[in-house]
Amino acid sequence: MSLLPILRFPDPRLKKVAAPIERIDDRIRRLARDMAETMYEAPGIGLAATQVDVHQRLIVIDASETRDQLLTLINPEILSQDGLQICEEGCLSVPGIYDKVGRAEHVVVRYTDLEGAAQTVDAVGLLAVCLQHEIDHLQGHVFVEHLSQLKQVRIRNKLAKQARITA
């Protein structure tokens, strides 16, 4: 396994819409393992393939406190959502930036697992937020797009300044 480089906002590759995965093979299984290792090392609770510049519909999530409940979702699709919760979100592609975002409180997501079996997950709370956040990535969206234009400009400026300082 190996750590993968994570794209940083506002990298235009984060805007690409991910393609469905047609076949689950060793390449996809290796990608899922590498993504999980990258997510845990970062550390984060979710990572979409888009964030590591692979534009296929694959996400890994572990929103458990014990960090031992890895979910690998291939071609995830939100079947239903209801309610509203406001949570502070962050993102491995937008390091150091956190802000409140409104998301559905409850979601049901259909996906395929690494063995090719159809699955559903019925989620509330943090897991529901994480699923919506990572599925957004597959659709070419970053959480800051849920914020006002002013906040987006400030975030871009802050990240540009951080990049100049570390360069």
CB 124 within 8 A of CB 141: no
Other Cβ atoms closer than 10 A to 10: 16
* Positions marked catalytic: 134
Interior/surface letters 21-57, b for 16+ CB within 10 angstroms, e for the rest:
beebeeebeebbbbbbbbbbeeebbbbbbbbbebbbb
Structure tokens given for 167? 């360069």
pTM for this predicted structure: 0.94
Q: Does domain 12-166 have CATH number 1.20.1250.20?
A: no
Structure tokens given for 141? 């969206």
| CB neighbour list of residue 10: distance below 8 Å, 6 or more residues apart | 156, 159
Amino acid present at 131 = L
pLDDT by residue for the chain (167 residues), tens only, comes to: 689 999 999 899 999 999 999 999 999 999 999 999 999 999 999 999 999 999 999 999 999 999 999 999 999 999 999 999 999 999 999 999 999 999 999 999 999 999 999 999 999 999 999 999 999 999 999 999 999 999 999 998 988 888 788 76
Instruction: Name the residue ranges covered by the structural domains of the chain.
Output: 12-166
The two beta strands, 106-112 and 118-124, are antiparallel
